[in-house]
Structure 1
Amino acid sequence: MTLNIWLNRTYATNYWFLQMLRSNPDNTPVRLFATHTDETSPVLQAADVTQIEPRLSGDAYVDWALTFCQQHAIDVLLPGKEMLAIAQRAAEFAAIGVHVLASPAASIALLDDKDATYASASALGVPVPPWRTAQGADAFVDAVASLRAELEADEVVCIKPLQGVGAEGFRILDDSVASLDDLLAAPAHKIRTDEVAFALERAAAAGRELPTFMVLPYMASPEISVDCLSTPFGETLAALPRAKSGRKRTFLDDEPRAVEIAHRMVDSYQLAYLTNTQLRWWRGELALLEVNTRPSGGLYAASLTGLNLPWAAVRLAMDGTYPVLEPQLGHSFVSVDTVVSLPAAVEAPVTNLNPLRTAEPLVTGRTLADVV
């Protein structure tokens, strides 16, 4: 039996996620589907069947996704785009035989809101840094002043949108005057407080909807990202803590507190399948940075531990089973870029068999890492 597995619009590094599904340890035949609004997405080049997505959102997008699943007899869907909307209608996918790899909709909604996440996690006893929220220039200036009054002189303030992906919208507030060394240094995510306030004032004057920002201390490195596999009911089956400091990445075998916090988040919110908990150091202890109710962009590195988490999640969804998971931690590695060839441009975006699948087998995600 060939499994039809679909990843809708997602980020580029899931190119390797698809490779891990194709080279699954059970040697199960898979037919991989990928859709995206950008025809140059590397993910499209790793799939067997590709299609350009329509520019829809909300229920209209979910309606399209349901039709896509029916047309292509999809067995498993890992949603990226519109994850919440899809999770809210998961019963409709189940009714047509589609297993959706997503957490409960209520948990996705809560954890997508950083303010709600911090408030809820704090109530659970999970350490979080002090924070403020602000919408608009005046509220932003007040929030920054209020937080700075609570911090030590050498502690730095940063901001990020209440909802966002990755480092989008993240800035470190630095009100010092720029020096020549600053100008000659590599680009940094720094901005002055008055520049942020001015940008918000101009946006408000132009009638634009203003985002709400989190204002919080910039927590110390190394950042620890814990990739988790769990049952549909929030039972953690694997938790792989991966520390990031500069270019170096390390799968930690000596940081049980990181695993403990990740377990607490997965269990408390009944997170399902593949999720990611991010932590940083705040005044000497690990504190929550955020929780992603999706697999992390760096999940492919988990292959260095001997685990194929994408395939384990598919098996879990399809028949409730999973392999014995005994990760080999302690590996350090760095990531390097690779080259993904693009096919000749087509005049109209249509569903097609990916021509790259007739070429030589693509390399596995392991080649992206140099063990040191």
Structure 2
Amino acid sequence: MLKLLRLFGGLLSKLYQSEAWRVSMESITVLITGAGAPGAPGVIKSLRDNGERSIRVVGVDASKEAVGFKLVDAGCQIPKADAPDFTSSLLKIAGEEKVDVILPLVTMELETLSLNKDKFQNEGIIVSVSDIYPLKIANNKGKLLAYMKDKGLSVSLFSIVNSKIEFMKSAYELGYPDKPICFKPLNSNGSRGFRIIDPKINRHKLLFDTKPTLTYITFDEVMSIFEESEIFIPLILMEYLPGNEYSVDLLVDHGRPLYTIPRRRDAMSAGITTKGVIIKEDDVINYCNEIVQNLKLHGNIGIQVKRDMNNIPLILEINPRIQGSIVHCTGAGVNLPYYAVKLALKEEVPKVCVKWNCKMLRYWKEVFY
């Protein structure tokens, strides 16, 4: 009898994993924006390898040569997020392709999609995006740190600057030149505009022993750049945090964390993790949970965290969307892009064990057309 039960269980397991079982479940269509983003191939892979159902993947991008177009079932070029016809174009494509859920990968699209998500909802299309109020805070680094400080959450020393004079004054207040500092535009993503000012860095070694991809700059170079333009882009100036850096992937149900998975970033290229490890560090997990609970964020959320000189985790920024290396979580047994789809469809999100200490290495792969 026991042998028969084991045999029956084994057959059920094989059936569940088979293509026939997946096809027998409800097939759906998922649209991802930013099909040319570095993280798009991993998201497409995660959606396809969900082990539960057949998913038709549609990809859209502002570029007609987005790499994701070679990987999806249907690819379409759309206007940029700030174009007046962005929403209408996306809505038209989503309707024609019979899309069930939209997963945004582009930061600049989030607020527009949030403001117009009811238009999609009226057509039976769910956009996995946070509400507009928390989005406006999360997308602005100055507002975010001020909000967190007001809520009693730990943040690094920072200052918002709107001129060259304010930059110089704040730099010295933050301890420069005795301590390194860093800065970034209030509204940016993907390491755009991020630089570190450290007078103790060996510039000869930086020039001859490293590739020109690092983010160090001198104080004088920054001042010279400011002189070249009449426009001053508002910046957030912060103390430099010297400890380990983490990308934390969360799945959140209107402020309730369902999964919180830190990835230690051991190597990066152009702001994208190329080598990392899934690591269970409870102080990082608890800290990120507090942040999303306060902000009431929703869906796939990314938080960048770095440890200070006292080993305390402090926020760098929030990416209130799918992050570029979320596929690492899929490799560790937690398919967060697909679980966001299930959450959008009001299906039960499974509770699975994270494969802690799972490592990831990235490599180049080509498509030909």
TM-score scaled to structure 1, two decimals?
Answer: 0.84
Partner of 2:44 in structure 1? 18
Partner of 1:65 in structure 2? 90
Distance 2:71 2:256 in 1: 31
Partner of 1:236 in structure 2? 257
- CA deviations on 1:121-161 (whole Å, 9 max, x unpaired) are 11222211111111232222222122226x9x3x3111111
1:38 and 2:63 matched: yes
Partner of 2:143 in structure 1? 116
Give the structure, 1 or 2, with the largest relative contact order (CA under 8 Å, sep 6 or more): 1
Partner of 1:263 in structure 2? 289
Q: 1:54 aligns with which of 79, 86, 111?
A: 79
1:136 partner letter: S
Distance 2:283 2:72 in 1: 38
1:184 and 2:204 matched: no
Distance 2:261 2:333 in 1: 11
Partner of 2:6 in structure 1? none
Q: 1:323 aligns with which of 337, 346, 350?
A: 350
1:210 and 2:265 matched: no
Conserved in 2, the CA contact under 8 Å of 1:161 and 1:212? yes
- CA deviations on 1:293-351 (whole Å, 9 max, x unpaired) are 011111000123211111111111113311123212122x24222323132xxxxxxxx
Conserved in 2, the CA contact under 8 Å of 1:138 and 1:197? no
SS at match of 1:190: coil
Distance 2:232 2:125 in 1: 37
Conserved in 1, the CA contact under 8 Å of 2:157 and 2:239? yes
CA change 1:168–1:29 in 2 (3 A) is same
2:319 partner letter: N
Partner of 2:12 in structure 1? none
Identity of aligned residues (%): 20
Question: CA offset at residue 49 of structure 1?
Answer: 0.2
Question: CA offset at residue 179 of structure 1?
Answer: 4.8
What residue ranges of structure 1 are gaps of 5+ in the alignment?
Answer: 344-372
Partner of 2:119 in structure 1? 92
1:312 partner letter: Y
Q: How many residues align?
A: 332
Which 4+ residue blocks in structure 1 deviate beyond 6 angstroms? Answer: none
Q: For 1:342-353, what aligned pairs fall within 5 Å after superposition?
A: 342-343=368-369
Partner of 2:30 in structure 1? 5
Distance 2:341 2:81 in 1: 27
SS at match of 2:188: coil
1:226 partner letter: V
Distance 1:86 1:69 in 2: 13
CA change 1:180–1:324 in 2 (3 A) is closer
CA change 1:56–1:300 in 2 (3 A) is closer
Distance 2:202 2:302 in 1: 36
Distance 2:155 2:215 in 1: 22
Distance 1:94 1:168 in 2: 33
Distance 2:225 2:203 in 1: 23
Partner of 1:200 in structure 2? 226
2:102 partner letter: L
What residue ranges of structure 2 are gaps of 5+ in the alignment?
Answer: 1-25, 268-273
SS at match of 1:274: strand
Distance 2:128 2:201 in 1: 48
Distance 2:368 2:151 in 1: 48
Conserved in 2, the CA contact under 8 Å of 1:45 and 1:340? no
